[in-house]
Copies of this chain bind each other. A is one copy, B any other.
Amino acid sequence: MSTIASEAGWTTIEIEISQRLLNKAYQRETETLVTEVRHKINNLTDMEQLWQIHDILSAKRYDLDGKYDAREPMLIFTFAQLLKEGWISLEELHGLNQAKLAKISSLSKM
């Protein structure tokens, strides 16, 4: 096995850490969305704002569907994006090997 393949492979423990963290990030992101929608609908003054809420939900649903890609070859990019957007911290990725952490951290700054 080459060094690259070894870095790219995910151990069972890494997969477990990843799955837990993805669930946690998804929970945070959707809870934030619920809070936003709740605030908007409870303070709605104009019917047009109802369709703005619908637009927000449409965009966010599309965004979430694509973003939480848990396939192994995509995990690095998934975590980099979540880190960039602030849904996870680098500390929460503790347990992944150094090469993965370095890639995720680096990609998150792009």
* Interface of A: prevailing SS: helix
**Which of B34, B50, B51, B58 has a CB less than 8 Å from the CB of A50?**
B34
The stretch among A3-11, A40-48, A74-82 that forms the contact with chain B is A40-48
Interface size class of A (residues with CB under 8 A): 10 to 19
Q: What is A's interface to B at a CB cutoff of 8 Å?
A: 27, 30-31, 33-34, 37-38, 41-42, 44, 47, 50-51, 53-54, 57-58, 61
Please state if A50 and B57 are interface contacts (CB–CB under 8 Å).
yes
Number of copies: 2
List the B side residues contacting A30 at CB < 8 Å: 47, 50
CA distance A61 to B55 in the complex (A): 11
CA distance A58 to B30 in the complex (A): 19
